[in-house]
Amino acid sequence: MSKKEPFGIYIHIPYCKAKCRYCDFYSAPGARGVPQSYVDALLRELARNTRRPDTVYFGGGTPGLLSPAQVDALIQAAAPLPGAEITLEANPDIVTSETLRGFRAAGVTRISFGVQSSDDAQLRRLGRTHTAAGAAQALAWAREAGFDEICGDIMLALPEYTNAEFDRTLALLRDGGCTHISAYLLKVEPGTAFYRSPPAGLPDGDAAADFYLYAVQQLEAAGYRQYEISNFARPGHEGRHNLLYWNCNDYWGIGPAAHSCVDNVRRFWPGDVQGFIDGTIHEEIEGDCTVEDYLLMQLRLVSGLDIAEYERRGGRFTAAQRAFMRQCVSHEYATLDGNVFRLTPAGMVVQNAILAELI
């Protein structure tokens, strides 16, 4: 592997208590823990790495199903650099005060809770297994365990959604001590329970856009500065690991369905838990990370696209594309500050349409 800095490791934990009705991620529902055989397979792969990471991210699935001892062993094997950001995703009803203290003692610096909503009826509709009171308790336990970096997720444009539901969820996360909030629109993906049987009361595209813009405004007012299309943080608390993705830095994913990009080459693991445990599947090459990928990722960020850097990487905008960019500015979908092209919140709503013109 390259020695270029920075570098992150993503560790995929595919096990979860129950499959949410909107989820299209690779996961194995019905789990009450993570088999040691799976952890051993992760340790086997980590032993191949010779590069110390700046960030480690436990994603899933539900990484909170790991025991603190398993997390400790995986962090030790990853050998992160001093001061590394180490994130673990968890569902509020999976953790206890004891496990959170154990995760913190193992070296986890950042805990991320999939709260989604403060409305219990909405949570049941989504297939979530926690309650609003349970989320508040988990946040309190995280503070007591010594976590300074606490993250919470909010889903927008849910069935029968209102701004009032967003306000209550934001208040739950803010009062719970969250330093970082991810707020993203519900997407009904093929293969999910919602796709097979769509819920009643889903907002249309215009209403969803309005919910997003309202969320951006309210999060800013609450002290959470937007730095990416769906991510908001108190100053200095931005997620370092995900910034590796958006800035096209190196990251290595381990586990079935995990993706990597190292030295501008994208790889992935096939989605096969048992094959991963047995060592019968291996990473496969997906393709090169292109200048178009860089453009797409940079326009997710509030910091925007540095056009000179884009051109240094081999990108070029035609005269027609530059005219389109100026048109975006005139319609307040973007700003052009010197050589930096940034999407506004209104532009982020229609990001796909803008990218279609620029790629």
Q: What is the pLDDT of residues 40-55, one digit of tens each?
A: 999 999 999 999 999 9
* Within a domain: 298: no
Contact 92, 129 (CB under 8 A): no
Number of domains making up the chain: 2
Q: How confident is the model at residue 284 (pLDDT cuts 50, 70, 90)?
A: very high
d(CA 248, CA 293) in angstroms, rounded, equals 8
On the question of a cis peptide bond just before residue 61, with omega within 30 degrees of 0, the verdict is yes
Same domain, 67 and 207: yes
Instruction: Return mean pLDDT, the chain.
Output: 95
- Do 193 and 327 sit in the same domain of this protein? no
3-state secondary structure of 119: coil
186 and 316: one domain? no
Residue 42 lies in a domain: yes
Beta bridge partners of 184: 155
Q: What pLDDT does residue 3 have?
A: 53
**Which residue reads 């991620």 in tokens?**
25
Domain residues for the domain of 155 are 7-245
| 329 burial via Cβ count (<10 Å: 0-12, 13-18, 19+) | middle
What radius of gyration, in Å, describes the C-alpha atoms of the chain? 20
Of 229, 245, 261, which residue constitutes the final position of a domain? Answer: 245
Please tell me the distance from the alpha carbon of residue 352 to that of residue 295, in angstroms, as a whole number.
12
Final residue before a domain boundary, out of 201, 224, 245: 245
Q: How far is CA 265 from the centre of its chain?
A: 21
Are 197 and 159 within 8 A, CB to CB?
A: no
Split at pLDDT 50, 70, 90, the class of 4 is: low
Domain end (from 221, 245, 269): 245
